[in-house]
Amino acid sequence: YVIVYSERNENMAQRQIREVGDPLLRKKSRVVETIDDKVKQLIDDMYDTLKASDDGIGIAAPQVGVLKRVIIVDLGEEGEGGPYKLINPVITKAKGEQVCREGCLSVPGLLGDVTRPKEVTVEAINEEGKKVIIKAKDLLAICLCHEIDHLDGILFIDKATELFDADAEDEE
């Protein structure tokens, strides 16, 4: 007999990720007025969905079919850490420029070179309702910009200067 223990709790819920072509991904998300149990459940479900993805480091509510201004960024062991669970995030400062090859859970099979700010300051509310300010640079800045774009119906393929087949990239 093989007994498999899982760290997942029983309340873990993954939601289906919407993919490019779904009109909901192109809509502007609404501001979250109240952090109630529904919003907290959405955040939990989004986090579970992100963790279940192979290599995702961020997710926005529209990607799971909800037009609310909620994002999660979790770089894991990439340095800046996380997870950042942000409600109503706004970029208040942006500085510099960097080009990064991005992918997206909602755009499977494609990567693209996108120019983003090198550094950003993001103001948001956490799930406890407290205001948070994140000063981010490099990968964290890229990811925050990418996820906040989702809240305005913008996908990385709209900003990419060049697109690449993700499977071909994996073989290199």
Catalytic residue ranges:
147
119 close to 96: Cβ distance less than 8 angstroms? yes
The rounded distance, in Å, linking the Cα atoms of 31 and 81 is 26
The rounded distance, in Å, linking the Cα atoms of 80 and 135 is 10
The rounded distance, in Å, linking the Cα atoms of 109 and 103 is 8
The single residue listed with the structure tokens 């079919």 is: 65
- Those residues whose C-beta lies under 8 Å from the C-beta of residue 9, and which sit 6 or more positions away, are none
Task: Give the H/E segment covering residue 50.
Answer: helix 37-52
Counting DSSP H helices and E strands in the chain, the numbers are 4, 8
Peptide bond into 23 cis (omega under 30): no
- Which of 58, 120, 77, 70 minimizes the C-alpha distance to 95? 120
